[in-house]
Structure 1
C-alpha cells in the first residue's frame, strides 16, 4: 500500500510539469508575433515607432511577415520547458500549502481547498522558480527580436546558438543570466495571475445551476484570459526593465536593475515603464486563455482533477 500511495503521489507531482509543456507551446504558437512588436517598442530608441501599428507595418514592410517570428526558436524550445517548470512547480507549491493547512472549507461541503492567498503565494514562488530557466531563454529571444536587418548575413547574431556563444564569450556562462533581477521582479507578478485566475474560477462556479452557467473548459478559457489583464497591468513596468537589461549588447557591461529603471524614467518619465502595454494587452487574452485552457484540460486528462484546488 505504501509504495502504491507513493507512486500515486509522484504521478500527481509530475503531471503538472507535463501539462505545462502543452501550455508553453500554445503560448509561442498564438503569441510570438505580438511579443516581437512589444519587445521592439520597449527596447528601440524613442521615436523609432509611432505605436504598435506603425511598428507592425514597418517590420513587415522592411523585413517580411516572417520577421514577427524572429527569435521564435528559443521560445519554441524554451517556453515548453519554462511553463513546465512554472506550472509544475505551481502545482507542487499548491499541494505543499494544502499540506501545511492553508485551506478553507468549500461552501456547502466538507471538502477543503487552498485559500485565495495560498494560490497567490504559490504563483509567486512558481514565478521565482521559473526565472532560473526563463532568464537565459528570454535574453536570447530579446536579442534576436531586436535585429532589424532583413538578411541573416547582416545580423550580429546569425541564430540562437551564435547568440549564446557570443554572450558566453563576452561574459562567461553567468552572462546568460543578465537581467535576472528584472526577471525575478517581473515573474513575482504570477502572484496576481494565479490569484485572480482562481478568484475568477470561483466566480464562474457560482453560476452553476443558473441559466448563465458555463462549462469548466470555457471557465478555464475566460478566467485565463481575464486574469492575464490583471497580471500584465501589474507586470509591465518590470517587463520593460527586464527587457532593456537583456537587450544590452553583449560587448557592453551588464546593466543593473536600478540603473536601467533610472534610464527608462529619464527617457520617458513614468509612461516609459508602460511602453508596449497596448500590444501586450491585445496578445494577453488569446495567449493566456488558450494556454491555461490547454493546461487545465491536460491536468484533467492526466488525472489531476481530484487535486483541483
Structure 2
C-alpha cells in the first residue's frame, strides 16, 4: 500500500518537474520573436510596417539585446508557469482516465484517453496556470514596449521596479491587469494538447512502414504542428490580452494616482477598440512572428517535456 501511495505521489509531481524544463526552453528559443509580436500588437498605428520593420528598427535603434527586453520575468516565471501548466495537465489526464474518458487502443485494446479528454485536460490546465501567468506576462509586456536604448531613459528600470510602480499606482491587484484576457488566451490550450495528441497518433500509425520515426522525433514534430493549431485559435485573445496589459501605452505610466490609470480596460471594451480601429485584421496582428516562433519553440518544449516524462517514468496516457 505504501509503495502504491509513493508511486502515485511520484506520478503527480513528475509533470511539474518536466514542465520546468519546458518553460526555460520556451524563453531561450522564442523570446525575441515574442518581443516583435508585442510591439506589432500594442504600438500605435503607423509605428511599424510589419515584423521585418520592427526587427530592423529594434536592431538599429536599440541593439540586438533589445530583443530580450522583458526576458527576466518569463525566464524566472515560465519555469513555474509551465511547471503548473504541465504538472496540472498530467494530473487532469490521470483524473479523466480514472473517470472513464477513455477508448480502446487500436491493436491492444488497452484504455487510453480520448482526443476530447486531452483537449479538456489542456483547457483546465490553461485555466489553472492563469493566476501565475498573468503578472509574469504583464511585466514582460510593459518591459518589451520600452524602446529607449539606455536603461536610464526608461521608465521601468527592470521587472522589480516595474512591479513596484504598478503596485504603487494600482495596488497589488494591478499585477493582475488583463486577467480576463489571459484567461481567454490560455483557454486555447484545449487546441494545443488535442492537436498534439492527434498528431502523435498519426505518427504512431507509421510504425512498421518506411516512414516510421522515433517517439522523440514524433514529440518534436507534433509539438511544432500543434503550436500552429494553438496560435491560429489563440491570436485574437492574445491581441486583446496584450493591449489590456499595455494600458495606458503609448502614454507613460503615471506616477500619481489618476482614474485614467487606475481604471483597467475591460476585455470587451478592448476588443471593441481593436475592431473599431483595425477591423477583423486587428485581432490577427502579430500572427506572422507567432507562426515563425511557434514551431521551434513548442517543438523544443514538447520534446523536453515528453522526454523528461519518459525518463522520470511517469504513467503514460497513451499506448
TM-score, scaled to structure 2? 0.95
* Stretches (4+) displaced over 6 A: none
Instruction: Tell me the equivalent position of 2:306.
Output: 296
- Find 2:287's aligned residue among 259, 277, 296: 277
Q: Per-residue CA shift, 1:215-254, capped at 9, x if unaligned?
A: 0000000000001000001000000000000001354121
Partner of 1:77: 76
In the alignment, the residues of structure 1 paired with residue 120 and residue 316 of structure 2 have an alpha-carbon distance, to the nearest angstrom, of 21
Pair 1:5-2:15 in alignment = no
After TM superposition, the structure 1 = structure 2 runs for residues 211-250 of structure 1, keeping only pairs within 5 Å, are 211-249=210-248, 250=253
Q: 1:36 maps to which residue?
A: 35
Flag structure 2 segments of 5+ consecutive residues without an equivalent.
255-260
Q: Give the corresponding residue for 2:101.
A: 102
1:132-190 per-residue CA deviation (whole Å, 9 max, x = no partner) reads 10000000000000000111111110000000001111111111010000001000000
Q: How does 1:120-159 map to 2 (within 5 A)?
A: 120-159=119-158
CA distance in 2, matches of 1:139, 1:129: 17
CA deviation string 1:68-99 (max 9, x = no partner) = 00000001001111000000000000000000
1:199 equivalenced with 2:198 (yes/no): yes
Q: Aligned partners of 1:196, 1:12: CA distance in 2, in Å?
A: 24
Q: Over aligned residue pairs, what C-alpha RMSD do you find?
A: 0.9
Q: What does the per-residue CA deviation read over 1:281-309, in whole Å, with 9 as the maximum and x for residues that have no partner?
A: 00000000000000000001111154546
2:274 corresponds to 1:264: yes
> Structure 2 CA distance, aligned partners of 1:137 and 1:80?
11
Specify the SS of the correspondent of 2:112.
strand
TM-score, normalised with respect to structure 1: 0.98
Q: Structure 1: which 5+ residue stretches go unaligned?
A: none
Q: Matched residues in 1 for 2:76 and 2:305: separation? A: 17
SS in 2 for 1:104: strand
What is the match of residue 209 of structure 2? Answer: 210
Conserved? CA contact 2:31–2:67, under 8 Å? yes
Counterpart Cα distance in 1 of 2:42 and 2:223: 28
Q: Is the 8 A contact 2:112 2:317 kept in 1?
A: no
Most deviating of 165-174 and 36-45: 165-174
**In 1, distance between residues paired with 2:83 and 2:316?**
20
2:113 counterpart of 1:114: yes
The answer to whether the 8 Å contact 2:113/2:317 transfers is no
Does 246-255 or 174-183 show the bigger shift?
246-255
Q: Which residue of structure 1 aligns with residue 257 of structure 2?
A: none
Distance in 2 (CA, whole Å) between partners of 1:226 and 1:307 is 20
Measured in 2, the distance between the counterparts of 1:81 and 1:60 equals 30
